[in-house]
Amino acid sequence: MHDRKSAPFEDYLHELLESLKPLDAGEVASYIPELAKASPDGCAISFATIDGEVYSVGDSETLFSIQSVSKPFAYAGALMRLGQEALLKKVGVEPTGDAFNSIVLDEVNNRPFNPMVNAGAIAVSALSEGDSQSERWAHVVDLFSRFAGRRLTHDNSVFLSESATGHRNRAIAYLMLNTGMIDRDPEEVLDLYFKQCALLVSTPDLALMGATLANNGVHPRTGEVLLGPAEVRDVLTLMMSCGMYDYAGEWSYEVGLPAKSGVSGGVLAILPGQLSIAVWSPPLDEIGNSVRGIAACRRISGDFGLHQFMNAATVETVVRRETRASAQPSMRIRNPRERDLLATHGGQIGLVELQGALYLASAERMIRQLQDLTSSVSHLVFDMRRLRSVDAAAQRFFESFLRGLADRNVEVAFAEVHSAGGAAAPVLTKIAEACAIRVFTNVDGAVEVYEERLLETVREPFDATRYGLGNLELFKGLNRAQLRMVEAMIQPMQFEANDYVLRRGRPGTMAFVIARGSVSVMVPNASGDNIRVACIGPGQFFGEMAVLEGGLRSTDIVADEKVVCYGLSAEHLKELSVSDPEAHSVILTNMVLEFSNRLRRSNDIIGSLQ
């Protein structure tokens, strides 16, 4: 099993296991003497996702004989070798309504009703590949081992016990020999069938076998294609209609997942496109299904709305992108000191962009995928604009995940919730309220807030003070006399929050340098609404292009808070070019260097988005 896990899923499975322990109904199967030796207290649950992650609780290392849970996989192997048409001549696909070991055949075709009852499974065993018994057994072991992803062995004691007491199965085999459904020695066929049922598996093995069916026939870990889509369809259809014997109708109604049970206590359920569930608990009900296994699957399906006719999702990578503020900083234009500090410490701010549908399996994958990122950040921003839906199962696990982050002092923010899909936005709002998550209009606003908090903890005290001219990047390199000359030219100005410092379309007559506070650069979008494209903070300048070019302002500049800045007019710059060309040259050089830095920063951000 992988080392990285999703704590919310593990917590749920532990809670589920504890809830099953008080169930003491049912009896361990005794008609096969070796099975009667199983402890009635044994219990294990495993989930396996279609990308190969396995979650297990309880006695998950305990090996038990696979018994009738082998039937879908044996049938799958026969389908791949012989095809549907040939196989239908030997085994039907109709539910029986009878017990799994009934001695009855389809009266019209003289064939077993379906491959999920003993008669059908024996008929499938008679079709096993190989010219000798040993060769046929080797093919059976190989098939099941490929589904499990490891080499399987069988329990010889269970095999011998089953062979010694399998009189009803002998009656079935000889009946089919009489009707022509099998053409091999019935004892050889039964020998193969009993050994198949005695193959030893654990719940993680069984879950990975089921996950191969959930993954459209591709093994989640080995990548081997074991079945085609058509064969997967046929197997899952039979599991849904016949896999739980004469409990199949009620199971389909209540749980709604393709499934198969076995008399050793195993139950395997499949959620196509997402995951599989394997449960083992030996006590059986009167039909022959595990009491705790049925209870576990019923609760899982109910808790997460997994009923097939309520769920048509397939797993997609819900994390579209994950990065850090060191690679994708906010649009706030900063001084070199702040840029250096954020380049060093910005990795503490994580950014995650979600997409598509968030449901049980995609939530599990998301939480697992974010383990590395969330273990090394102090702040985390979720961009929700491309998320279209969040179901009840995902909501439950997402909330648990977020509370776990809060316990580790990771502060989380949601952004673009209003832009999420219609079905997602209300759920995300509920999650934010339940977990005390701050919601921002856009990602940039959230990142900027977290950057400021980060800078407050790492920057020098000087950075929080009002800037003098000599400390402003625009005037760096000027000597004292030149600074005094510039000081006489500049015009101190003050603006309140939401004041317009500059208006788009008006003539540019003055450049500005911020001494305290910050301003936002606003441009109209396609619908004419103003959107924020950048933020400019202390030590940074703006409005210089229109001054240098003599044109009109291209953006609105709005004060975010109380702002103190210095204005340097176009006339004063022109005067400076005459009275002190060196000082004029230094200022222009500083402008060019800052333009270069801004361009490089923009390229880095664009590169990080690719």
Tell me which residues are annotated as active site: 68, 71, 193, 245, 263
Q: Which residues pair with 524 in a beta bridge?
A: 530
Six token digits for residue 199: 């193959």
Q: Reading across the β-sheet that carries 510-516, which strands appear in turn?
A: 491-495, 563-569, 510-516, 541-542
- Burial-class residue 70 by CB neighbours within 10 Å (0-12, 13-18, 19+): buried
The torsion of the CA quartet 157, 159, 164, 167, rounded to 10 degrees, works out to 150
Neighbours of 353 (CB within 10 A): 21
Cα-only R_g, the chain: 35
Rounded CA separation 44/17 (Å): 8
Cβ-contact 7, 241 below 8 angstroms: no
Six token digits for residue 535: 């933020």
Rounded CA separation 213/228 (Å): 10
Cβ-contact 366, 318 below 8 angstroms: yes
Rounded CA separation 123/101 (Å): 13
H-helix segments, 215-330: 229-242, 248-254, 291-304
- Non-local (6+) Cβ contacts of 399 within 8 A are 431, 434, 435
Identify the DSSP state of 442.
S
Amino acid at 180: G
Question: Does the CA dihedral 575-577-580-584 come out positive or negative?
Answer: positive
* Coil/strand/helix, residue 362: helix
Six token digits for residue 483: 């600074």
Six token digits for residue 481: 């006399």
Could you tell me what percentage of the chain is helix, strand and coil, using 3-state DSSP and rounding each to the nearest 5?
Answer: 45, 20, 35
Neighbours of 304 (CB within 10 A): 22
